[in-house]
Amino acid sequence: AIRADSAEESAASVLAVLRGEAGARRKIVLLNAAAALLVGGAAASLAEGVQGAQNSIDSGAALAKLTELKAFSSREAGDSLAG
Averaged over successive runs of 10 residues, the pLDDT of the chain (83 residues) comes to 89 96 96 98 98 98 96 83 61
* pLDDT in the model for residue 23: 96
37 backbone φψ class: left, alpha, beta (φ>0; ψ -120 to 50) = alpha
Q: Are 58 and 20 in contact (CB under 8 A)?
A: yes
Rg (CA), the chain: 15
Which phi and psi (to 5°) does residue 40 adopt?
-80, -5
* pLDDT in the model for residue 49: 98
- Say which residues have a Cβ less than 8 Å from residue 28's Cβ, sequence separation at least 6: 2
* pLDDT in the model for residue 1: 66
* pLDDT in the model for residue 75: 86
